[in-house]
Amino acid sequence: MIERVRFTTYHNKKILVVDVSNCSSAEIIDTLRTVPDFVTVQPFSSVLLLADFTNASFNEEAIGVLQEVTVFDKPYVKKAAWTGTEHSLDSLREKVSQFSQREFTIFKNHLLALEWLTQD
Protein backbone atom coordinates (compact mmCIF):
# COMPACT_ATOMS: atom_id res chain seq x y z
CA MET A 1 0.00 0.00 0.00
CA ILE A 2 1.20 3.49 -0.85
CA GLU A 3 1.86 5.71 2.14
CA ARG A 4 -0.24 8.75 1.30
CA VAL A 5 1.36 11.08 3.85
CA ARG A 6 5.10 10.84 4.34
CA PHE A 7 8.29 12.82 4.63
CA THR A 8 10.89 12.70 1.90
CA THR A 9 14.12 14.59 1.32
CA TYR A 10 14.99 16.75 -1.67
CA HIS A 11 18.11 18.91 -1.88
CA ASN A 12 18.77 18.02 1.76
CA LYS A 13 15.44 19.51 2.84
CA LYS A 14 12.60 17.62 4.43
CA ILE A 15 9.37 17.71 2.40
CA LEU A 16 6.00 16.49 3.60
CA VAL A 17 4.24 14.78 0.69
CA VAL A 18 0.46 14.48 0.81
CA ASP A 19 -0.55 12.22 -2.07
CA VAL A 20 -4.27 12.02 -2.73
CA SER A 21 -3.80 11.32 -6.43
CA ASN A 22 -6.46 9.02 -7.89
CA CYS A 23 -8.38 9.06 -4.58
CA SER A 24 -12.11 9.14 -4.01
CA SER A 25 -13.57 11.80 -1.73
CA ALA A 26 -13.72 9.31 1.15
CA GLU A 27 -10.04 8.42 0.69
CA ILE A 28 -9.13 12.11 0.51
CA ILE A 29 -10.94 12.77 3.78
CA ASP A 30 -9.22 9.87 5.53
CA THR A 31 -5.81 10.94 4.24
CA LEU A 32 -6.20 14.63 5.05
CA ARG A 33 -7.27 13.87 8.61
CA THR A 34 -3.83 12.32 9.23
CA VAL A 35 -1.89 15.39 8.04
CA PRO A 36 -2.01 17.30 11.37
CA ASP A 37 -0.29 14.34 13.08
CA PHE A 38 2.74 14.97 10.85
CA VAL A 39 2.64 18.77 10.79
CA THR A 40 1.92 19.80 14.37
CA VAL A 41 5.00 18.06 15.77
CA GLN A 42 7.23 20.25 13.60
CA PRO A 43 8.45 23.75 14.53
CA PHE A 44 6.30 26.71 13.51
CA SER A 45 6.80 27.91 9.93
CA SER A 46 9.09 25.02 9.04
CA VAL A 47 7.07 22.54 6.97
CA LEU A 48 7.58 22.38 3.23
CA LEU A 49 4.48 20.65 1.88
CA LEU A 50 3.80 19.08 -1.50
CA ALA A 51 0.23 17.97 -2.16
CA ASP A 52 -0.60 15.87 -5.22
CA PHE A 53 -4.23 16.18 -6.32
CA THR A 54 -3.85 14.47 -9.71
CA ASN A 55 -7.18 12.85 -10.67
CA ALA A 56 -8.53 13.28 -7.14
CA SER A 57 -12.33 13.35 -6.76
CA PHE A 58 -13.43 16.08 -4.37
CA ASN A 59 -16.95 16.44 -3.03
CA GLU A 60 -18.07 19.27 -0.73
CA GLU A 61 -17.17 17.29 2.41
CA ALA A 62 -13.63 16.63 1.15
CA ILE A 63 -13.24 20.32 0.28
CA GLY A 64 -14.43 21.21 3.78
CA VAL A 65 -11.87 18.88 5.39
CA LEU A 66 -9.12 20.36 3.20
CA GLN A 67 -10.15 23.84 4.30
CA GLU A 68 -10.11 22.83 7.97
CA VAL A 69 -6.71 21.15 7.71
CA THR A 70 -5.16 24.14 5.94
CA VAL A 71 -6.39 26.49 8.66
CA PHE A 72 -5.20 24.22 11.46
CA ASP A 73 -1.77 23.68 9.87
CA LYS A 74 -1.19 27.30 8.84
CA PRO A 75 1.25 28.20 11.65
CA TYR A 76 3.47 25.21 10.83
CA VAL A 77 3.68 25.45 7.04
CA LYS A 78 6.39 27.59 5.50
CA LYS A 79 5.52 26.85 1.85
CA ALA A 80 2.89 24.70 0.17
CA ALA A 81 2.93 23.50 -3.42
CA TRP A 82 0.14 21.67 -5.21
CA THR A 83 0.37 19.43 -8.24
CA GLY A 84 -2.37 18.00 -10.39
CA THR A 85 -4.55 19.01 -13.26
CA GLU A 86 -4.18 22.78 -13.22
CA HIS A 87 -7.61 23.76 -14.51
CA SER A 88 -9.38 21.64 -11.90
CA LEU A 89 -7.13 22.93 -9.11
CA ASP A 90 -7.81 26.61 -9.80
CA SER A 91 -11.33 26.45 -8.38
CA LEU A 92 -10.25 24.31 -5.44
CA ARG A 93 -7.32 26.62 -4.69
CA GLU A 94 -9.60 29.65 -4.72
CA LYS A 95 -12.05 28.10 -2.24
CA VAL A 96 -9.32 26.86 0.10
CA SER A 97 -7.26 30.06 -0.11
CA GLN A 98 -10.24 32.26 0.76
CA PHE A 99 -11.20 30.05 3.69
CA SER A 100 -7.70 29.54 5.12
CA GLN A 101 -6.17 32.92 4.20
CA ARG A 102 -3.22 31.02 2.69
CA GLU A 103 -1.67 30.92 -0.75
CA PHE A 104 -1.05 27.70 -2.64
CA THR A 105 1.13 27.57 -5.74
CA ILE A 106 0.20 25.06 -8.45
CA PHE A 107 2.84 23.26 -10.49
CA LYS A 108 2.59 20.98 -13.51
CA ASN A 109 4.73 18.26 -11.91
CA HIS A 110 6.51 17.20 -8.75
CA LEU A 111 9.97 18.24 -9.90
CA LEU A 112 8.96 21.86 -10.47
CA ALA A 113 7.15 21.90 -7.13
CA LEU A 114 10.13 20.41 -5.30
CA GLU A 115 12.52 22.91 -6.86
CA TRP A 116 10.30 25.81 -5.78
CA LEU A 117 9.81 24.42 -2.27
CA THR A 118 13.55 24.05 -1.70
CA GLN A 119 14.52 27.51 -2.97
CA ASP A 120 15.64 29.84 -0.21
Q: What is the DSSP letter of 43?
A: P
- Give the whole-angstrom CA distance, residue 55 versus residue 60: 16
15 phi/psi in degrees, rounded to 5: -120, 130
pLDDT at 1 over 50: no
Q: Crossing angle, helix 86-100 and helix 60-73, to 10 degrees?
A: 50
Segment 13-35, tens digit of pLDDT: 999 999 999 999 999 999 999 99
pLDDT at 74 over 90: yes
| pTM (predicted TM-score) | 0.92
pLDDT of residue 80: 96
Q: Please count the structural domains in the chain.
A: 1
Question: Which domain range does residue 36 map to?
Answer: 5-117
Q: What is the CATH number of the domain that holds 104?
A: 3.30.750
Segment 82-99, tens digit of pLDDT: 998 666 678 888 889 899
